[in-house]
Amino acid sequence: MLSYRHSYHAGNHADVIKHLVQVCILNYLKRKEKPFCYHDTHAGAGLYSLQSEQAQKTAEYQTGIGKVWNYTGDNAEIKAYVDAVRRLNQGEDLAFYPGSPKIADLLCRATDSIQATELHPGDYPILASQFQRRKHCRIEKMDAWAGIRAMLPPLAKRGLVLIDPPYELKTEYQDLIKGLQQAIQRFPQGTYAIWYPVIERKAVESFIDAIVDTQIRNQLRIEYCPLPDAEGFGMTGSGMLVINPPYTLKQDMENCLKELSPLLSQSPAAHWQVTQLVDE
């Protein structure tokens, strides 16, 4: 089943948190000259028009990037994220939003490599068309977990794997845990950033517990909920579980969320956490 289209949700509060974490990790990897690999398991279309029928229908970006776009503070990570979005938009109008592979394309150096898999027959060609001129890249219309088996470990023995499934099916949570274990067996030194939605609190905690139970070391949880937990109200927040995070990520994201929470909050009961779940 491939009914999910990210064009309805591009630039929402969950994308802001996910892509900010992605920017923090990529910028950390760039501190060393040695090239790294960015691997995106569920890449989406890469670039989204916020004027499209889909984006206008939900208007989710207005409570996400729309609130952060005019950021004037000093936080270097938030500035780097907003700067990446601004590079796709001429002038002051927010018209386009980059997906995760596009953010990687904007931030990675020519020597770094980009690998991405996407299955949707509509989104894959849009994605692939943006990478035709890039060297050191492999963009495949392939299942995410087959892609992990085919492409990990990368030639560069350092990098980030972003895992961002649509969770249309309940089985995707189990598939992720199995795929993650296979990925870590192949590429244990990689950093892994796993996105998850907050829809039902009990289900979220069971999913997190199941990842903790894998015995994988060094797990950092970053979560932001602009709305209080409530069942039956859709997605009230989202999180990133990061395995082998840069040592700077915890402090960086605490600083970011202190500044972003007042901008993104939709309720006095908005809440966030940055928690080391499993030690190194």
Positions marked active-site: 164
Cβ-based nearer residue to ligand SAM, 101 or 226: 101
Closer Cβ to ligand SAM, 95 or 269, answer by number: 95
Q: How far is the CB of 279 from ligand SAM (least distance, A)?
A: 28
| Closest CB 23 distance from ligand SAM, rounded Å | 12
Binding site for ligand SAM (CB under 6 A): 2, 4, 6, 18, 42-44, 99-100, 117-120, 123, 143-144, 164, 166
For ligand SAM, the closer of residues 42 and 221 by Cβ is 42
Least spacing, CB of residue 25 vs ligand SAM, in Å: 13
- Name the residue with the smallest CB distance to ligand SAM: 99
> Cβ closer to ligand SAM: 193 or 243?
193
**Residues tagged in the binding site annotation for S-adenosyl-L-methionine:** 19, 42, 100, 118, 143-144, 164
- Shortest distance (Å) from residue 2 CB to ligand SAM: 5
Helix/strand/coil (H/E/C) assignment for every residue in the chain: CCCCCHHHCCCCHHHHHHHHHHHHHHHHHCCCCCCCEEEECCCCCCEEECCCHHHHHHCHHHHCHHHHCCCCCCCHHHHHHHHHHHCCCCCCCCCEEECHHHHHHHHCCCCCEEEEECCCCCHHHHHHHCCCCCCCEEEECCCHHHHHHHHCCCCCCCEEEEECCCCCCCHHHHHHHHHHHHHHHHCCCCEEEEEEEECCHHHHHHHHHHHHCCCCCCEEEEEEECCCCCCCCCCCEEEEEEECCCCCHHHHHHHHHHHHHHHHCCCCCCEEEEEEEECC
Binding site: residue ranges? 19, 42, 100, 118, 143-144, 164
